């Protein structure tokens, strides 16, 4: 990533670009996301694992929306497979 990483201001510029691109549609959170997210974090209850909290949210969102997770993270892809969630890697 290195020099290709965006600053926070640059990231907001990308987000604003997406908001104005008619090919891109942003969806709100599915209604049952909170329940699924909480259930996904139950096995982590005794851990200090902030990365896993984010990963659990992404998995819960994919599950609640009936969508697929797109990730470069092999461990997250494997966790998705164990939960029966479709996960793919770009490229």
The whole model's pTM is what? Answer: 0.65
Q: Give yes or no for residue 1 having a pLDDT over 70.
A: no
Encode pLDDT of 47-58 as tens digits: 777 788 889 899
Encode pLDDT of 13-24 as tens digits: 999 999 999 998
Residue 78: the pLDDT is 92
Ranges of H-type helices in the chain: 8-20, 33-41, 50-65, 74-82
In percent, the amount of the chain with pLDDT more than 90 equals 43
88 DSSP β-pair partners: 70
Q: Give yes or no for residue 44 having a pLDDT over 80.
A: no
Cβ pair 81, 68 in contact under 8 A: no
């Amino acid at each position: 990533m290195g020099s290709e990483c965006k600053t926070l201001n640059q990231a907001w510029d990308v987000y604003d670009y997406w908001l104005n691109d008619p090919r891109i549609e942003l969806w709100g959170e599915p209604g049952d996301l909170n329940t699924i997210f909480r259930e996904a974090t139950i096995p982590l209850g005794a851990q200090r694992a902030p990365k896993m909290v984010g990963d659990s949210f992404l998995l819960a969102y994919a599950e609640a929306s009936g969508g697929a997770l797109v990730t470069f993270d092999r461990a997250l892809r494997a966790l998705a497979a164990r939960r029966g969630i479709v996960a793919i890697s770009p490229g």
